[in-house]
Structure 1
Amino acid sequence: MPNPATEAHAMTPTLDIQQPQPFDLVGDTILIAGNATAFEGTLTIHVSEGHDEYSSFTQVGSLGLRQFQGSIDIPATNSFQLNRLFLTLADDTGNENGPSVTIPVLFGPRILPGYRGWQPYTVQPGDTLSSIAQSQYGNGNFQPIFEANQHVLASPNLIFPGQVLRIPRDDI
């Protein structure tokens, strides 16, 4: 005999975002992927820094477990002043208590003009952020590296051998 409590729980909408992860470094096009259950159409995507907001939608499907992917393009004319954005995803079924997820991400174009992506760099003994910037950019401006790694660096003076840092690039 079916258990109504189990059936009700099985139909409770859920949202599992697999991309982007918190503090991922993103560009002008933010790719989004995950799994959803009990959605009835679309997923609303909002990107905000607290002042401006951009929105988009992606098709999720109907009831049941569905993998989804989508993207939101941030216009080049955006007026974001901060490099930390908040990506909020919510089901668009009209249920204000439906599932939603907010993920902080780092906006590469505000960290490095012309941002095209990043590459990993493993800190070596004797490295400083300035010396890494000199080897990667040809100058000692370590600020893009520090900002791209703000989720793991408390100070530009505290790095250690073996630590893997993200190096923002404008030439990938």
Structure 2
Amino acid sequence: MDGPTTRRPVTVSPRRIEVRQPQQNDVIGMNFVIAGYGTGFETTVHWRVLDNNGNQLGDGNIQGAGSTGVIRDFGNTVTLGNTPARGMHVSVQVFGDDPSGIHPPGTDLNIIHATLFTSLEGFKLYEVKSGDNLTKIAREEGQNTTTNDIFEANRDRISNANLIFVGQVLRIPLLT
């Protein structure tokens, strides 16, 4: 072996936009909050929500992010239009502007996968117990909640609706 190996430091460009909410695989309603920190061109951060086919369900801007390299917290309540959804898987995209227009959607694209329910009041967490199945959980723990609602809200945790395990923590949508 030749002499000692010289390691070069790895430099990682810090992201200019980071999303704290929603988080991956969250359950969201037609009104939800996008929050994080970052810097955007002219203090603007953009958002859009796409369904699984790439159709845009809503878009907008969040004013008040930092600019010229200054990073600030941002938050914005998003209201989507009348999109009937009961367990629809969507992508929430949050990104900066590319003033050149060459690389849309812009810098620092954040993609958060979520499950959208039109009539969501909220959700609760439930730990699976011995003897549970999704039907029993929907009936006893849900609010206008079906077995399929629980399955869709937990696709990252359940691959088969008939196969859940004691100790698993599931999101139970509470619907109006």
Per the normalisation by structure 1, the TM-score is 0.79
List per-residue Cα deviations over 1:30-69 (Å, max 9, x = no partner).
2111111464321111111122331111111322121111
Aligned partner of 1:144 in structure 2 is 149
Runs (4+) of structure 1 moved beyond 6 Å?
none
* CA distance in 2: counterparts of 1:126 and 1:104, whole angstroms: 31
Aligned partner of 2:8 in structure 1 is none
Aligned partner of 1:42 in structure 2 is 44
- What is the CA distance between 1:139 and its match in structure 2? 9.0
Equivalences for 1:17-96 in 2 at 5 Å?
17-37=19-39, 39-49=41-51, 50-59=54-63, 60-63=65-68, 64-75=70-81, 77-78=82-83, 83-95=88-100, 96=103
Q: Is the 8 A contact 1:17 1:33 kept in 2?
A: yes
2:132 to 127, 139, 156: 127
Bigger share in helix: 1
Number of residue pairs matched by the alignment:
157
Q: Is the 8 A contact 2:125 2:172 kept in 1?
A: yes
> 3-state SS of the aligned residue for 2:136?
helix
Aligned partner of 2:3 in structure 1 is none
Q: Is the 8 A contact 1:130 1:140 kept in 2?
A: no
* CA distance in 1: counterparts of 2:45 and 2:136, whole angstroms: 44
- What is the CA distance between 1:73 and its match in structure 2? 0.4
Larger mean Cα displacement after TM superposition, 127-136 or 151-160: 127-136
Q: One-letter code of the match for 1:74?
A: L
Q: 5+ unaligned residues in a row in structure 2: which ranges?
A: 1-11
Aligned partner of 1:168 in structure 2 is 173
1:108 and 2:121 are equivalent in the alignment: no
Q: Is the 8 A contact 2:39 2:66 kept in 1?
A: no
Report the RMSD for the aligned CA atoms in angstroms. 2.6
Q: One-letter code of the match for 1:73?
A: T
Q: One-letter code of the match for 1:154?
A: S
> 3-state SS of the aligned residue for 2:120?
coil
* CA distance in 2: counterparts of 1:107 and 1:67, whole angstroms: 25
Structure 1 residues 13 and 138 mapped into 2: Cα distance closer, same or farther (>3 Å)? closer
* CA distance in 2: counterparts of 1:129 and 1:82, whole angstroms: 15
Between the aligned residues of both structures, percent identity stands at 29
Q: 5+ unaligned residues in a row in structure 1: which ranges?
A: 1-8
Per the normalisation by structure 2, the TM-score is 0.78
Aligned partner of 1:117 in structure 2 is 122
